[in-house]
Structure 1
Amino acid sequence: MTLRNRLLVLLAAVAALAVVATASVLHASARAERRNEARPGGPRVTAGRVTLTAPGTMVFRNMAWGPHRDELTTVPAAAPAGPRTASGLKCLRFYAAAGTGVCLQAVHGTVTDTYRALILDARLKETARYDVPGIPSRARVSPTGRFAAWTAFVGGDSYAGTNFSTRAAIVDTRTGKLIPTLESFRIVKDGHVYHAADVNFWGVTFAADDRTFYATLATKGSTYLVRGDLRTRTVSTLHANVECPSLSPDGTRVAYKKRVKGLPKDAPWHLYVLDLRTMRETPLAESRSVDDQAVWRDDRTIVYALPGDYGADLYTVPANGTGRARLLSAAAVSPAYIR
């Protein structure tokens, strides 16, 4: 092949790559435009004012396609399927209590994404910002608003498999003091101090005393519910096979997902409630696998997310094992009830 022919082949290859690159950009742009278009039959979402102090409301991440997708939105708790008011603030995971919120966000870069946690005041204004070391998965605020917690995947991206690691952090929203990982806490397992290189924590949930919290501890292929003490920086195991605990408003029970034998490896969990006084488990009337940290709407009702047409839908089920699961709100995830 002559030099001229080689140059022609090279120019043709460069031109072909340019065409492919342009087509990719146009395709991505078209996808982004479709993402911002509201779909027929979806919930009505309009921009407005959202606060964390309006009693009787539910604030959550809106998953409906359209210009307000991923934004924090609110509806009356008594009308969860009604029109939504969008805040303009986008979060991957969210929670709020006592006028304080935590919003876990992705920061999209040219090569890779980074993540951060925003502490919010009652008007959704940022009061503090913290780097998050991986993909956010769980968020909680203590009942008083004093503490916020989040969990991120720092290796792997799913709880379903075994090849993952997590980092659970807690911050004092008054002082700004951050505990970047619960792995620095003293672990008491079955009454004895425990050390292991494979320890993971996730799914923090707080009691009302601004001292006690609960979380999942994983080690040696097993998971445990642990009770933590922020003053002594100690966690103690309470019950086996517990993931993503959520403490009831009255502080007496924990809702959680439990691995059930015989289910597919990618969908192994059923919802249970554990009575902390008797350690008695109650399976809930949800037959599908639930990979979420449930929320208590009140002392009688559990709310959780399942995959849906828009990404996720919220469902509800009685906390005492009776009744049946029912759809609460389509195209929604990460709810917080403002009391």
Structure 2
Amino acid sequence: MNRKHRLLVLLAAVLLLTGVAVGATLHAAGRAAEKGHAQAGGPLVRPGKVTLGAPGRSVFRNMAWGPHRDEITSVADADPSGPRTASGVRCLRFHAAGGTGICLQAVHSGLREAYRALVLDAHLRELRRYDLAGIPTRARVSPDGHTVAWTVFVSGDSYAGTAFSTRTSVLHTRTWSLDRDLETYRFFLDDRPHQAADLNVWGVTFADDTRFYATVATAGKTYLVRGDRANRTLRSLHPNVECPSLSPDGTRIAYKKRVQGASSDAPWRLYVLDLRTLRENATAERRNIDDQAVWRDGHTLVYSMPGNYGSDLWSVPADGSGSPRRTMAAALAPAFGGRL
């Protein structure tokens, strides 16, 4: 056998081995998908039925790599690292309460990407859909499930900078009346009517169907506001509050606060405000938090942090004690029921 023939044989052998390796990899991936495994030793995820508010189960957006990434998924509260059940419904932002879910999702159409909001029932069946004006960023449902809210970026892509604009909508799910833009509400800053072209509203959290809290930004500052859908008003309560989250008893607000000396790329820390005294308290979480935290119960906050799969869920006591701990890998946007 001459040199040329030996090279051809060697090349054929390499191609054959490569084909076998690729085939084995694809076969293993297919088997993993059939069995519901995520990549890289992630959590076990299987398709199945997901119901909002099911006793003993949490619902969230699954971030594990594999065929069920971004699907609304449930897991047993007693075993948060255990097997997951994926619904088949994919969302970029999600929240649920009172048997109602709000799912903000991407719609791929050729080279253009659009977004929409889906209102879901307790079995994740679509009730209504609405086109969105921009990129989804926040979503919330009132405690009884009768009102939902969502926020989108209509320019820019980050709260950290100043070149962005938001649009926040509130929808009543019994009458289907829609307030498309909360910036049309009358805004009172320090009890005085305030009008500004740079007004932005985002991060709704509900007290009930009519009353809510949110963030308003104007003139480079942010404020916690109390909103009233019946009167169509927003009234400032406290400065330097972003992405508020109301406690189950309605007395405290968890939020992200810009702190002095922090990097402009990582400016926020997790705080809690007492609505009765307007005294604020830092939590034990000292890292940057770019999330709208949720209350696991009356004592514990849950929020997302970057992880191996894009996002993990962490928790910390709301009273400033204890220390942060990771509660669930490869998860985002949890809903535990009740007022979140």
Q: How many angstroms does 1:57 deviate by?
A: 1.7
Match of 1:301 in 2: 300
Query: Whole-Å Cα distance in 2 between the matches of residues 38 and 272 of structure 1?
Result: 34
Helix, strand or coil for the counterpart of 1:250? coil
For residues 258-283 of structure 1, the C-alpha deviation after alignment (integer angstroms, 9 at most, x for no partner) is 00111111110000000000001010
* Aligned partners of 1:59 and 1:338 also within 8 Å: no
What does residue range 212-227 of structure 1 map to in structure 2 within 5 Å?
Answer: 212-227=211-226
Structure 1 position 174, deviation (Å): 0.8
Aligned to 1:286: 285
Over residues 147-174 of structure 1, what are the superposed CA-to-partner deviations in whole Å (9 max), with x where a residue is unaligned? Answer: 0000100010111111111111100011
CA distance in 2, matches of 1:200, 1:230: 17
| 1:1-339 equivalences in 2 (<5 Å) | 38-208=38-208, 210-338=209-337
State the Cα deviation string for residues 92-114 of structure 1 (Å, max 9, x = none): 01000010000000001212210
How far is 1:310 from its partner?
0.6
Distance, in Å, in 1 between the alignment partners of 2:41 and 2:161 is 35
- SS, match of residue 128 in structure 2: strand
User: Contact 1:57 / 1:338 at 8 angstroms: preserved in 2?
Assistant: no
Q: Does the CA contact (< 8 Å) of 2:53 and 2:336 recur in 1?
A: no
Query: Shift in Å at residue 79 of structure 1?
Result: 2.2
2:20 aligns with none
2:21 aligned residue: none
Separation in structure 1 between the aligned mates of residue 136 and residue 224 of structure 2, nearest angstrom: 21
CA distance in 1, matches of 2:127, 2:250: 28
CA distance in 1, matches of 2:216, 2:238: 10
Once residues 261 and 108 of structure 1 are traced to their aligned partners in structure 2, the CA distance between those partners, rounded to angstroms, is: 41
Q: Give the 3-state SS of the residue equivalent to 1:183 in structure 2.
A: helix
Partners of 2:53 and 2:299 lie apart in 1 by: 22
Deviation at 1:44, TM superposition (A): 0.7
Q: Does structure 2 conserve the Cα–Cα contact (< 8 Å) formed by 1:306 and 1:314?
A: yes
Following TM superposition, by how much is the alpha carbon of 1:189 offset from its aligned partner in structure 2, in angstroms? 0.5
Cα-Cα RMSD: 1.6
Q: Distance in 1 between matches of 2:223 and 2:54?
A: 36
TM norm structure 1: 0.88
Amino acid at match of 1:235: L
- Equivalence for 2:16: none
| C-alpha contact 2:201 2:217 (8 A) present in aligned 1 | yes
Unaligned runs of 5+ in 1: 1-29
Q: TM-score, normalised by structure 2?
A: 0.88
Identical positions, percent: 62
Amino acid at match of 2:281: T
Per the TM alignment, residue 338 of structure 1 is displaced from its structure 2 partner at its CA by 3.0
The equivalent residue for 2:22 is none
1:26 maps to which residue? none
Aligned to 2:5: none
SS in 2 for 1:338: coil
- Code of the aligned partner of 2:80: P
Using the alignment, how far apart are the partners of 1:257 and 1:149 within structure 2?
A: 19
Shift of 1:306: 0.8
CA contact (8 A) 2:304 2:332 kept: yes
Instruction: After the TM superposition, list the runs of 4 or more consecutive aligned residues in structure 1 that deviate by more than 3 angstroms.
Output: none
